[in-house]
Structure 1
Amino acid sequence: MMTIKTQVDLKQVNQQLQAFATVVNGNHPIREVTADEQLRVGVDLGTSSIVLTVLDEQNQPLYGAFEYDNAVRDGIVVNFIESVQILKRLKQKAEDVLGVTLTTACGAVPPGTGHGSAKIVTNVIESAEFECREIVDEPTAAAQFLHMQDGTVVDIGGGTTGISVFEHGHLNEVLDEATGGFHMTLVLAGYHHVDSAEAELMKRDESKEGEVFAVIRPVVEKMAMITKTAVTTEVKQPVIVVGGAINFKQFIPTFSKTLTLPAYKPDFPQFVTPLGIAMYDHEPE
């Protein structure tokens, strides 16, 4: 499944994502955990949800949990206390399910949001009683989980479109623009003359997907144009698009048409970046 063409083994990636999705917010991990294992934890403070992921030492997913939130806007924490409270609940649930104490974690921020944003994310993680080992940029974290050596990762978050371009395993370019799932919600709210909370629920309603996408299509086309024009070198193939905002049947065909390049979407794309973040939670080599 696209392994040779894209240099990304999406079949293997999707198997991991499907297994991970079955245990998210559940009461059991993918497998039992022993007390002496060094687990890896990722914290993704997103615009619409906060996600906690747990991997083993071989970077195999074990467990995950998330809560919807309004604590982050355009990649920036705007409600510190709510973020900490949610993360503490997610940490406690994960520890109860796994039967071990989670001590370290890594976080992520959109590219280009600066040291201040990274410091706030660090403070949230540490206030939830983790040792924060590293803060990485979101699309690069996604590329880590995808094991991408050559290509472009486009991470469509709640508030931003993040882009990382790789060549021969080297990160050539990373950038971010303020257009994401929240902007889809704003367009939908304006079209239907409702508030953003009602529009967000409408956007998540699978039975309304066709009519919703007809309204937000211009936002998707803008995301593709950002990808096409913002990169100063060139958009390397394959183009893998991830993030919770892309779960529409017409997203990838529309994105690809505007980009004028084929784009691909993993299964459960909302979990790619959080899992990639956790891969950075290890002792310095």
Structure 2
Amino acid sequence: MEAYEKIHRLHELIETRTVADLPGPYKVGVDLGTADVVLVVTDETGNPVAGSMRWASVVKDGLVVDFRGAMVIVEELKAEVEELMGVTLEKGATAIPPGTVGRNAMACGHVIAGAGLEPVCQVDEPVAAAEALGITHGIVVDIGGGTTGIAVLRNGELVFTADEPTGGTHVSLVLAGAYKISFEEAELLKRDPAQHRKIMPVILPVVEKMATVVKNMLIGYEEFSDYPVYVVGGTAYLQGFETEFGKAFGRKVHVPPHPLLVTPLGIAMFG
């Protein structure tokens, strides 16, 4: 199954709450995002089997700020998927923004352990996205709620990674200020595809800032100038984002289908 086909398939499984008829052993990945928590199950070769997600605010700027809330959500997602599949999920992988260290890095593992999943590994978020996209040579930009991380791969090896505190949360803050609505209302506005064309001019400075942040990360690395660039994360779902980000970045970028699900799929593939 090709990378984009896998992403489409995962989206379909989550939307329809169904299970792919694929044999085990299974791999499990949990993405603790700033705006959502996603649990994905794949077969041994990385084909999607099942998944579930929940909008949540248990993480801020890549750090778990509501440990109990995060654990309860993962428990619920785990139970939902187990019921769908008719199996018990025992182990799982997690991911963190590049550069996260110490107890902050350990927190994600503790969350899934508390939810009944033995942590097997922890990967950088953009590296997980690269795995899901099958990229061995290129740049992956993962725009999360609070952070934007990049991973540069050359011949299948990670040669550079970086992370900066800007992301989808800043988009919502700008919308809340512009329309004089609450942050929660701004989040809902941002998720409504019917509103994307209207809000893009409002949030364009944030999109341009994200592109500039990534561009600055790569200063001094001219050898990466011809690498293809892929952008994932919920913010990349906004209509017009791919074009505007590319303009500000100064290079063509690629946004895969359902960019919110790319990193969670990659995490499961590492599981």
> Is the structural similarity TM-score above 0.5?
yes
Contact 2:93–2:122 (8 Å) recurs in 1: yes
Q: Which amino acid aligns with 1:203?
A: K
Q: Which amino acid aligns with 1:188?
A: L
**How far is 1:25 from its partner?**
5.1
Partners of 2:89 and 2:118 in 1: how far apart?
9
Contact 2:25–2:44 (8 Å) recurs in 1: yes
Taking structure 2 as the reference length, the TM-score comes to 0.95
Partner deviation per Cα, 1:186-236 (whole Å, 9 max, x = no partner)? 111111222211111111122221221111111111111111111242445
Alignment match of 2:231 (pick from 228, 241, 245): 241
What's the counterpart of residue 275 of structure 1? 265
Contact 1:95–1:102 (8 Å) recurs in 2: yes
Partner deviation per Cα, 1:99-151 (whole Å, 9 max, x = no partner)? 11000000011111212222110110100011101111100111111121111
Aligned residues: 268
What's the counterpart of residue 6 of structure 1? none
Q: Does residue 1:68 correspond to 2:55, yes or no?
A: yes
For the aligned residue pairs, the C-alpha RMSD in angstroms reads 1.4
Contact 1:145–1:275 (8 Å) recurs in 2: yes
40-49 or 21-30: bigger deviation: 21-30
Runs of 5+ consecutive residues of structure 2 not aligned to the other structure: none
Partners of 1:123 and 1:268 in 2: how far apart?
28
Partners of 1:212 and 1:79 in 2: how far apart?
30
1:203-282 correspondence to structure 2 within 5 Å: 203-231=190-218, 232-234=220-222, 235-236=224-225, 237-281=227-271
Partner deviation per Cα, 1:16-35 (whole Å, 9 max, x = no partner)? 111111110543212254xx
Partners of 2:182 and 2:18 in 1: how far apart?
37
Partner deviation per Cα, 1:58-85 (whole Å, 9 max, x = no partner)? 1111111000101111111110111011
Give every structure 1 segment of 4 or more consecutive aligned residues whose post-TM-superposition deviation is greater than 4 Å. Answer: none
Contact 1:32–1:98 (8 Å) recurs in 2: no
Partners of 1:136 and 1:15 in 2: how far apart?
23
1:73-92 correspondence to structure 2 within 5 Å: 73-92=60-79
Contact 1:165–1:173 (8 Å) recurs in 2: yes
Classify the secondary structure of the residue corresponding to 1:23. helix
Contact 1:149–1:170 (8 Å) recurs in 2: yes
Classify the secondary structure of the residue corresponding to 1:58. coil
Partners of 2:154 and 2:8 in 1: how far apart?
28
What's the counterpart of residue 181 of structure 2? 194
Classify the secondary structure of the residue corresponding to 2:270. coil
Partners of 1:53 and 1:244 in 2: how far apart?
16
